[in-house]
Structure 1
Amino acid sequence: MHVGYLHREFGPGKGTFITSLLYFILRTMKNHSSIKVGVFVFLSSLLCHAEGFAQAPGNVPVTVGATTSKGNSRISGAIIDSTLSKGVEFASIALFTMADNKAVDGTVADENGKFSMTKIAPGSYRLLISFIGFKDKTVNNIKVEKGKDVELGNIRLAANVQTLQEVTITGEKSMVEEKVDRLVYNAEKDITSKGGDAADLLRKVPMLSVDLDGNVSLRGSSNIRVLINNKPSTIIASNVADALKQIPADMIKSVEVITSPSAKYDAEGSGGIINIITKKNNLQGLTLNVDSGVGNRGTNLGLNGSYRKGKMGFTLGGFGRAFYNKAESVLDQTTFSGLNASQTHQRSTARDRGLFGQYALGWDYDLGKNQALSAGLRYGTRNFIQKQNLSIDQYSNNVFDATTQRKVDRKDLSGTVDFNVDYIRTFKPQQEWSISTLYSRTGLTNNFNTDLLNESGAVSSQIKNENKNYNSEFTLQTDYQTPIGKNQLIEFGAKGIFRTVNSDYRYLLAGESGNFVLDPNNPAGALNYNQNVGAGYVSYTLTTLKKYTFKLGTRYEYTGIVADLGEKGSVSIPDYGNLVPSINVSKTFGASTLKAAYNRRIQRPGIQQLNPNVNLSNPQSISMGNPALSPELTDNFELGLSTNIKKTYVNVSAFARQTNNSITQIRTTVDTLAGAILTTYDNVGKQQAYGFNVFANVYLTPKWTVNGSLDVLHSYLEGQTTGADGTSVPANNSGWNYGGRIMSQISLKQGWGLQAFGFYRGKEIQLQGNRTGFYMYSLGFKKDFPNKKGSIGFGAENFLGKGVRLTSNLKSEQFNQTGVNQLYNRNFKITFNYSIGKMSFDAPRKKTKSVNNTDVVGGEQK
C-alpha cells in the first residue's frame, strides 16, 4: 500500500494510523484461513482509494466484497525484497478477476515471504502485492486451469524511497484520548513537561490532583495505585510522592487513568489506577537519545539507547534528576487540658536537596511466530536531604514560657531493585496465555539528626533517630483469554503475591563522651509484617450488533497477615477474604459513547501508615503509624459521556462512592508533652463522595488547541476522635471542593511551538478540618531541529509573585492548629534533547505481559 498517498488522502496522522493498523492486523491474523477473506475485503476497501489501485486497467472501477471463488486449484509464490533478496514478511496479496476486476481472494505472506491461496476456480486473474516501504506490484494474466496449480515463483518488490521518507511525518495525536476503560493523557505532546518530574506532569492530567508535596488523588481520593509500564514497585508502595520525583517527565510517553478497573486488575486502589507509560522504541537498529535540562529549581540528565537485530532487542537507559528548593512555614497550636491551655508558635525555614535516578535494562526475544519472552532489570535510587532551622515559642495560658531553637537534618534514602521475567503464547487473535513473575526489593533509610541550641546559639544536646526499612515482594501470575464466537471474550487467571516488610528503629542521645547512647524514654522497636495475597478472577465481554459492550467480572482475594513488634510481641490482625465484582457497560451511537460502571475495591494500608516509629523531629508535631490497621472497602459508581462535536472533544462523567472502615489521619494531644499534637492513622468510619468532571479539547485551528477540565466534588467524612476528657467522641465534616486546569498549545512554522498551562486545586476537606487551595501556572516554548533530531526549549513556572502559599486549619475538642506553608517554587529552565542513530521498519514485536500489582496504598510521608 502506498503510505504517502494515504497521508495525502486522509490528512496528517490518519494515513500513518491506517497503515499502522493494517500492519498490526496483518501481523496478528496471518495464517488463519478462516479470516483471510474478511481481512482481504477490509484491505481491498482501502486499496480502492490508493494511488495505483484506485482503478483497474482500462479505468474499470474495482468491485469490493466478492466472495472467494469455488474451485480446486492453488496459486502460490514468494514475495522477495529486490535489494536484500530476502522474503518480505507479512506482505499483503490480493487476487482480482481480469474480466470484471472483482475481488475473489486475499492473503498475507508468512515469515519467509511465502504465500498460498487455495480453492481457486478456473479463469484469468491478476495479483496485487503491497507492503509498507515498497512499491506496489501487479502480476497480470494469471491463467488457472481446472485441477492445476499455479506456482509464480519469486515476486520481487522494489523499495519505495519516497514512501519511507513520508512515513517519518507523524500525525497529530490528541493530547487526551478516551478509550473503552481509561482516559489517556499523551504527555509526549507537552512542551513544558521537560525538565520536571512525574508529579509536575500529573497535575495536568484530567481527574487527577497533586498537592505541593507530590501526593496524588483521583477524584478526591488519595487511595490509588500507581504503576509504571503496568508494573508495580515496592518504592511506589512505600511512598508515591517520593517515587514520582524519581521519574523525569521527559521519559513519560503517556498517563492512563483507570477509574473503573475490571476484575482482571487487583482489587486494591479504592480511587482507581494510574498507569505511567514510559517511552520505548521497538524498531530495528541502534539509537541513542539525550535529554537534559537546567533550571534554578532543578536539573535533569537522561541517556537511553536501544538495539534490535532480528528477533532480539535490548534497551538500556539511565535518568537522573537533582532539585533544590526553599520553603518557609508558620505553625500555631493550642492544646486544652481542663481549664489550662498550652500554646506554641513555630517558625521554620528549610532547604531541600534531592537527587533521584532510575536505571533500567530490558531484553526481549521472539521464541517463535506465536511466542515471546522478555525480562527487565530496574534500579531506582532516592537521596533526599532537608536542612531545617526551627524556632518554637511556648506559652501557658497566653503567658510566654520559653523559646527553643533546633537545627534538624533529615535524610530520606532508598534503593529499589525490580526484576521481571514474562512469557506469552498466542494461539490465534485474542486467544493467548501468559505467565509473569516479578521480584522487587527496596531498602529505605529515614533518619533525622537534631541539634538543640542554647540562647547563644551553641549546641546544648543532640537527638538522633535511625529508621531502616526493607520491603520485598514476589509475584507469580498467569492469565488466559479466548474469544467465544465473533463478539464474546472470556478471561480468567490466578495470582499470588508474597510480601515482607521489616522496620527497625531507635532513638539515640549524645552522651557525655560524645558518643550516642539509646534514649531510655524512647526505646528501640521493630515491625515485622508478612502479607500473602491469593487471587483468582473471571471476566466476560460481550459486544452486540447494536454497539452495546458489556464487560462483567468478579474477583476473589484472600489475604493472610502475620505481624509482630519484635520484643513487644505479635499484633493480632485477622485474615480476610473479599469478593469484588465489576460491571462496565458502554453504548456507541454516532460519534458519542455512553458508559456506566460499578466496581468494589479494597485498600490495604501501606508501610508508611503501618510503621510504628515515632517521628520526633518536631516535638510539637509528632507522627507515627498504626500496625493494627485493617483494609477499607469502597463501592464506586460512574456514568460518563464522550462525544465529538466538529473540532471539539468533550467528556463528561459523574461519580459516587462510599468507603467503609476508612483509613484516615487522626490527630490527638500528647499527655507527656505540653502543646504537642500526635498525627497517626486509624480505621475511623466511612467516607462518602460524589461529583462530576468535565473535560474539553478544542482545535481552534489545525495548529492551535485549547483543552481544560473542571472538577467538582462533595465529600462527607464520619468517624471517631478523642474528646476533651480523653474519651472517644463522634466527629464528621463535609464540604465542596472545586478544581480545574487549562492548557493551550500552538505549533508554529519552522519547528517552533508554544504552550501555556494553569492549574487550581480548591479547599480539601479532612475529618478534623480543611486545607486551603493553591494554584500553579507555566509558560514554555521549544524549537525543533531539522529532521526532528532534537529540540531546545525554555520554560517558566510560577514566575510572578513569591510562589505558592498553603494554609491548613484543624481543630477538635482537644486542640486548634493553624499552619501556613510558603513554597518558593519560581522556576526557569532550559531544556535540550537530541537523538542519534538509525532505525528501520520491521514487523512489530509480539506483545508481552507483565505483573500488574495494584493493591497497596502509598500513605503520606513522615
Structure 2
Amino acid sequence: MLVKWSKKMSKIKLLVTTAFCLLSLTFLHAQPSTNTIQVSGKVVDEISGEPLEYATISFYSPRKQKIITGGITDQNGAFNIEVPKGLYDVTIEFISFKTITLPKRKLFADTTLPTVALRLDTESLEDVVIIAEKTTVDIRLDKKIYNVGKDLTVSGGTVSDVLDNVPSVSVDVEGNVALRGNDNVRILINGKPSGLVGLNSTEALRQLPAESIERVEVITSPSARYDAEGTAGILNIILRRSKLQGLNGAITINSGYPFQAGASGNINYRTGDFNFFTTSGYNYREVPGNSLTETRYFNIDPATGEDLPDSFLNETRDFDRIRKGFNTNIGVEWYVNETSSVTTSFLYRDSNNESNTTNIIVEPDSDGNILNRNTRFDPELEDDITKQYSLNYVKNFKKSGHKLTFDFQIENNIEEENSAITQDNTSAIELVNTIEDQDRILLQSDYVLPIGEQSQFELGYRGNFNTLATDYLVSNQVNGEVTVDTDVSNNLIYTEHVNAFYSQFGSKINAFSFLLGLRLEETRITIDQTTSGDYSKKNYLDFFPTINLSYELTEKQSLTLGYNRRLRRPRSRFINPFPSRSSITNVFQGNADLDPSYADAFDLGYLNRMGKVTLNTSLYYNHSTQIFTFISEDTGTTTVISNTDTSQTVVPVIRRTPINLASADRYGFEFTVTYNPNKKWRMNANFNAFQDNTRGTYEGVNFDNDNFSWFARFSNKITLPAKIDWQTSLFYRGPSETAQSKNEGILSTNMAFSKDLFKEKASVTFNVSDLFNSRKRSGTSTTDTFESYSEFQWRERSFNISFTYRFNQKKKRERPARDGNGEEEFEG
C-alpha cells in the first residue's frame, strides 16, 4: 500500500511542480518592458453605480481579431493591466450584463480609460433566460442554477456532499441521489454523460473533490435538448474552468478524522489562441460504517400447516473501508479564428478501494439465549479505472447566438472486485471475482438559430452507444482445491444503443416566454447471458414532448409551468441476475426482465423577490407506468449458518429484487426561502413534501401502497468577529413507507468555520459532517413469512480541515445586487 501511496503522491507532486513552473514562467514574462504600457480603469453597474468585481477586460488586435492580453477587475471594480503598445479593440464583459467594446483605441502610453457602466442583459435568449436572480440561484425556463462555491460545509469533501446541500436534492445514507424524493435522476457532467460518474455513480461521486465544482444545474422540467432518461429530472454538474488570460488557479489540501487526506487543484493557463486547463485531485479516506438486521421468522409445519414456534436471527455488520482515488481532466481549447474553437480533453480516474466486512450472525431463542453464533469475514479489493477522450467543436456565425456545435466522446471503464469470504466452523473459502468492462461512445450535434430579437430555434442529434460486459465468477476453495460454483457464476453482456433527434423553439413576447420541444428516441437493448444461454432483445421507439412556459407578473414575480415526458431505463445493477455475496441470509439480486418505466411530469413554479427575502415555490405532479419497486421475498431456499459435530442450523434466504408494477402517482409541494438580514448574515430553508400512490400486483401479491413523506433543510451562515464565517446546516428526512416496509426519519447536522488569509489569497476551513452521528437509516419490513428490523450507517461522524490557496484568482466575494426597487440584496 505504501508503494501505491508513493506513486499517487508522485502524481500530485508533478502536478504542483508543473503549476509553479508555469507560474514562474508567467512571472518572468511579466517583467517590465519598454514596449509595454499600463492601462487602467473601472467597471460599474449602470443602474446602481456599484463596482463590478471579476469583470473581464480583453485586448484584441483589430486586424487579426486575435486576443493579445487581458485581466479582471478587483473588488472595487478597478483594473490595471500591462499591455504591449499598439492599436486595440477593448472588450469589457460581465456575466448577465451586456458586453461593451471600445473600438480602435490607440494605446502607446500609460492610459486611464473612462469608467465603463454595464447594463443588465435582460433579453439574452441563451436557454431563454427569464430572471437573473442575484443570490446564489439563477432561475431559467428549464432549470435552476445553484452556485455552490460559498458552501463551507463541503470544503474538503466530495461531489456527493455538495449535492446533499443543494435545494430539492437529497442523498441517502448509501449515497443514492434523489430529486424531490425520486431517485431516478440523470447525472451529467458539463451537459454530457461522463467517466467521472463511472459504472457506479454512487462511488464515483464520493471520489470527485467538491472543489472541482463551479455550479449545479437542477433541471426538474428538462427541455427537448436533454436525454429523456430520468423521470425525476436531471442534475448537471459544471466543473470549474477559467478563460482569463495568463495563469490562474487554486490548490486545496485537506485532512481529517477518521483519517483522510487529499489534494486537488484547478489550474488554467491562457495565452494567445490557446487555453490550457486541468482539474485534478487525489484523496485517501477511511470510512467506517455499520449495520444491524434483526429478523423474526413465522414458522409453519409444511405437512400440517400448523404454526410452529417462531425463530430469530440477528446479524450485525461492521464495514472498514478505505477509499483511494486519483482523477485528472486535462485539456486545451484552441481558438481557431474569431468564430471557431476546438476543445479536446482527456480524463483519467483511478479508484482503489478496500472494504473489510465482518458479519456476525447470532441465533437467539425467544428468551434471548444464544443458540448459535457465526462469524463471516468478507475482504474485498476493488480497482476502477476510467479513461475518456472528448472533442468539442463550436462554430459561431455573425449573429449573436447563432452557432453550430459538435461533440465526440469515447470512454472505457473497467471495474474489478475480488473477495475471499471465510466463515466460522468451516475451512472452505468462497472466492468471488467480478469484472465489469464498459465501452461508451457519444456523438452529438446542436444547431441554434436566433430568429429576430426575441426568438430562437434549435435542432440536434445525440447518439449514445453503450456495451457493458460483466463476468461473475464464484469458486469454493477447500484444502487448497478450487471448484467453480456453476449455479451462480455467469457472464452477462448488456448492450444499449440510443439514437435521438430533437427540435425546439423558444420566444419571448413582452412578459410571456415559452419553450416548446419534441424529442424522438430509438432504443435497442440486448441482454446476453452467455453462460446460461439466456438471450433477450428489446427495441422501442418513443416521442417525448416538452413544454415550458413563463410569465413575469412584475419585475420581482414570475410564474412558470412545465410539462415533459420522461423514461427510466433499468441500470446494470437492476438487471444483473447475480446475487450479492456479502451476506448469506440477505441477498440482492437483479431482474434481467425489467422493462423501462415512463412518466408524465408537470411542474408549476412561482418566484417572488421581496427585498431581502427570496421565495421560490413549486407544485408538481408525476404519473408513471411500469414503475420499478423493490420487494423482499423468501427465496424458498435455505442456508447453513452453523455446522457442528452435533447440530446444524439452517435458515431461509431472503432476497431483495426490483420488479415492474402497474403505475404510480406522485404529487408534491416544495419551497425555498432565502433571507439576507444584512451583508454578514444569510439564511436558507428548503421544504419538500410529497405523496406517492402506488398500484400493482406481482405474482398474485398486491403491492398497493399510499405513502406521504417529506424532507426539510435549513442553512445559516454568519460572519463572526475577526471575519470568521460560521455555517450550520440541518437536514431532516421524514418517515416513509412502502407496501412491505416502514422507514423512520433521519436527522443530520453539519457545521463549518472558515477564515480568509493572506489578503484573501487563501482560506482555511474546518467542518464536521454528521455532528451528532445520527445519519442512520432504520426501518421494518414485514411479509407473511418474516418480520425484519434493520439499521444502516454508511459513514460515521467525520472531521475535516482544508486549506485553499489561490494564485491570480480571487475569492468570489459577496456583491450587492439590485432588486426591483433599487434596494440591495446580497449574495451568500
Please, what TM-score do these two structures have when normalized by structure 1? 0.78
- The answer as to whether partners of 1:246 and 1:380 remain within 8 angstroms in 2 is no
Q: CA deviation at 1:343?
A: 3.4
- Determine the C-alpha separation between the residues in 2 that align with 1:751 and 1:262: 43
Q: Secondary structure of the residue that 2:428 maps to in structure 1?
A: strand
Q: CA deviation at 1:717?
A: 2.0
Q: CA deviation at 1:572?
A: 2.2
Deviates most, 246-255 or 697-706: 246-255
Q: How does 1:779-798 map to 2 (within 5 A)?
A: 779-798=751-770
Please, which of 517, 530, 540 is the counterpart of residue 566 of structure 1?
Answer: 530
Deviation readout 1:283-340 (Å, 9 max, x if unpaired): 1112353201111033221133222111101112321222223233220223456445
Can you give the 5+ residue segments of structure 1 that lack an aligned partner in the other structure?
33-49, 52-80, 93-105, 115-128, 130-153, 165-170, 722-726, 840-862
- The answer as to whether partners of 1:187 and 1:253 remain within 8 angstroms in 2 is yes
Please, which of 654, 670, 683 is the counterpart of residue 706 of structure 1?
Answer: 683
1:265 aligned to 2:237?
Answer: no
1:285 aligned to 2:237?
Answer: no
Number of aligned residue pairs: give it.
Answer: 714
Deviates most, 814-823 or 529-538: 814-823
- Cross-structure match for 2:553: 589
The aligned amino acid for 1:548 is: F
Deviation readout 1:821-861 (Å, 9 max, x if unpaired): 3566222222111123589xxxxxxxxxxxxxxxxxxxxxx
Q: How does 1:797-808 map to 2 (within 5 A)?
A: 797-800=769-772, 802-808=773-779
- Cross-structure match for 1:325: 287
- Cross-structure match for 2:817: none
Q: CA deviation at 1:804?
A: 2.9
- The answer as to whether partners of 2:409 and 2:443 remain within 8 angstroms in 1 is yes
1:484 aligned to 2:451?
Answer: yes
- The answer as to whether partners of 1:412 and 1:445 remain within 8 angstroms in 2 is yes
1:717 aligned to 2:686?
Answer: no
Q: Secondary structure of the residue that 1:567 maps to in structure 2?
A: coil
The aligned amino acid for 2:147 is: N
- Determine the C-alpha separation between the residues in 1 that align with 2:418 and 2:449: 51
1:349 aligned to 2:311?
Answer: no
Q: How does 1:67-106 map to 2 (within 5 A)?
A: 83-91=83-91
1:646 aligned to 2:611?
Answer: yes
1:495 aligned to 2:533?
Answer: no
Q: Secondary structure of the residue that 1:568 maps to in structure 2?
A: coil
Please, which of 161, 164, 189 is the counterpart of residue 228 of structure 1?
Answer: 189
Q: Secondary structure of the residue that 1:717 maps to in structure 2?
A: strand
Q: How does 1:569-718 map to 2 (within 5 A)?
A: 569-590=533-554, 591-673=556-638, 674-718=651-695
The aligned amino acid for 1:786 is: F
- The answer as to whether partners of 2:292 and 2:316 remain within 8 angstroms in 1 is yes
- Determine the C-alpha separation between the residues in 1 that align with 2:758 and 2:572: 49
Q: Secondary structure of the residue that 1:192 maps to in structure 2?
A: helix
Q: CA deviation at 1:598?
A: 0.5
Please, which of 426, 431, 448 is the counterpart of residue 396 of structure 2?
Answer: 426
Please, which of 708, 711, 717 is the counterpart of residue 739 of structure 1?
Answer: 711
Q: Secondary structure of the residue that 1:678 maps to in structure 2?
A: strand
Given the superposition, is the C-alpha separation of residues 660 and 235 from structure 1 closer, same or farther in structure 2, using an over 3 Å criterion? farther
- Determine the C-alpha separation between the residues in 2 that align with 1:91 and 1:412: 51
- The answer as to whether partners of 2:292 and 2:315 remain within 8 angstroms in 1 is yes
- The answer as to whether partners of 1:287 and 1:837 remain within 8 angstroms in 2 is yes
- The answer as to whether partners of 1:482 and 1:490 remain within 8 angstroms in 2 is yes
- Cross-structure match for 1:519: 485
Q: CA deviation at 1:31?
A: 13
- Determine the C-alpha separation between the residues in 2 that align with 1:567 and 1:763: 43
Q: Secondary structure of the residue that 2:282 maps to in structure 1?
A: strand
Q: CA deviation at 1:157?
A: 7.2
- The answer as to whether partners of 2:141 and 2:549 remain within 8 angstroms in 1 is no
- The answer as to whether partners of 1:82 and 1:158 remain within 8 angstroms in 2 is no
Given the superposition, is the C-alpha separation of residues 523 and 347 from structure 1 closer, same or farther in structure 2, using an over 3 Å criterion? closer
Given the superposition, is the C-alpha separation of residues 718 and 384 from structure 1 closer, same or farther in structure 2, using an over 3 Å criterion? farther
Deviation readout 1:704-745 (Å, 9 max, x if unpaired): 111111111111222334xxxxx5322122221121111111
- Determine the C-alpha separation between the residues in 1 that align with 2:373 and 2:82: 86
- Determine the C-alpha separation between the residues in 2 that align with 1:519 and 1:635: 44
Q: Secondary structure of the residue that 1:498 maps to in structure 2?
A: strand
- The answer as to whether partners of 2:195 and 2:347 remain within 8 angstroms in 1 is no
Deviation readout 1:39-77 (Å, 9 max, x if unpaired): xxxxxxxxxxx99xxxxxxxxxxxxxxxxxxxxxxxxxx
- Determine the C-alpha separation between the residues in 2 that align with 1:404 and 1:396: 15
The aligned amino acid for 1:685 is: A
1:382 aligned to 2:351?
Answer: yes
- Determine the C-alpha separation between the residues in 2 that align with 1:770 and 1:710: 21
- Cross-structure match for 1:274: 235
1:299 aligned to 2:270?
Answer: no
Deviation readout 1:245-298 (Å, 9 max, x if unpaired): 011112222111100000111111110000112222211112353201111033
- Determine the C-alpha separation between the residues in 2 that align with 1:815 and 1:544: 62
Given the superposition, is the C-alpha separation of residues 251 and 586 from structure 1 closer, same or farther in structure 2, using an over 3 Å criterion? same
- Cross-structure match for 1:828: 799
- Determine the C-alpha separation between the residues in 2 that align with 1:9 and 1:578: 49
1:391 aligned to 2:360?
Answer: yes
- Cross-structure match for 1:35: none
- Cross-structure match for 2:496: 531
- Determine the C-alpha separation between the residues in 2 that align with 1:716 and 1:447: 41
The aligned amino acid for 1:505 is: Y
- Determine the C-alpha separation between the residues in 2 that align with 1:728 and 1:699: 56
Q: CA deviation at 1:580?
A: 0.5
Q: CA deviation at 1:597?
A: 0.5
- The answer as to whether partners of 2:87 and 2:107 remain within 8 angstroms in 1 is no
- Determine the C-alpha separation between the residues in 2 that align with 1:173 and 1:619: 55
- Cross-structure match for 2:52: 15
Deviation readout 1:608-653 (Å, 9 max, x if unpaired): 1122222122011111212222211011010000110011111011
Deviation readout 1:511-569 (Å, 9 max, x if unpaired): 32x2432125x342111111111111110112102x10011111010111222100322
Q: CA deviation at 1:463?
A: 0.7
- Cross-structure match for 1:817: 788
Specify which structure has the bigger relative contact order, considering alpha-carbon pairs within 8 angstroms and separated by 6 or more residues.
Answer: 1
The aligned amino acid for 2:544 is: V
Q: CA deviation at 1:405?
A: 1.4
The aligned amino acid for 2:332 is: W
- Determine the C-alpha separation between the residues in 2 that align with 1:797 and 1:479: 42
- Cross-structure match for 2:508: 543
Can you give the 5+ residue segments of structure 2 that lack an aligned partner in the other structure?
1-38, 66-76, 93-98, 117-131, 301-306, 639-650, 811-828
1:554 aligned to 2:508?
Answer: no
Q: How does 1:751-766 map to 2 (within 5 A)?
A: 751-766=723-738
- Determine the C-alpha separation between the residues in 1 that align with 2:151 and 2:725: 10
Deviation readout 1:144-172 (Å, 9 max, x if unpaired): xxxxxxxxxx56574449999xxxxxx99
Q: CA deviation at 1:241?
A: 1.4
The aligned amino acid for 1:614 is: P
Q: CA deviation at 1:400?
A: 6.8
- The answer as to whether partners of 2:173 and 2:792 remain within 8 angstroms in 1 is no
- Cross-structure match for 1:334: 296
Q: CA deviation at 1:87?
A: 3.2
Deviates most, 299-308 or 425-434: 299-308
Structure with max Cα Rg: 1
- The answer as to whether partners of 2:41 and 2:112 remain within 8 angstroms in 1 is no
The aligned amino acid for 1:390 is: N
- Cross-structure match for 2:150: 189
- The answer as to whether partners of 1:718 and 1:731 remain within 8 angstroms in 2 is yes
Given the superposition, is the C-alpha separation of residues 734 and 481 from structure 1 closer, same or farther in structure 2, using an over 3 Å criterion? same
Q: How does 1:31-70 map to 2 (within 5 A)?
A: none
- The answer as to whether partners of 1:389 and 1:407 remain within 8 angstroms in 2 is yes
Please, which of 461, 471, 486 is the counterpart of residue 438 of structure 2?
Answer: 471
Q: Secondary structure of the residue that 2:661 maps to in structure 1?
A: strand
- Determine the C-alpha separation between the residues in 2 that align with 1:357 and 1:681: 33
Given the superposition, is the C-alpha separation of residues 740 and 11 from structure 1 closer, same or farther in structure 2, using an over 3 Å criterion? farther
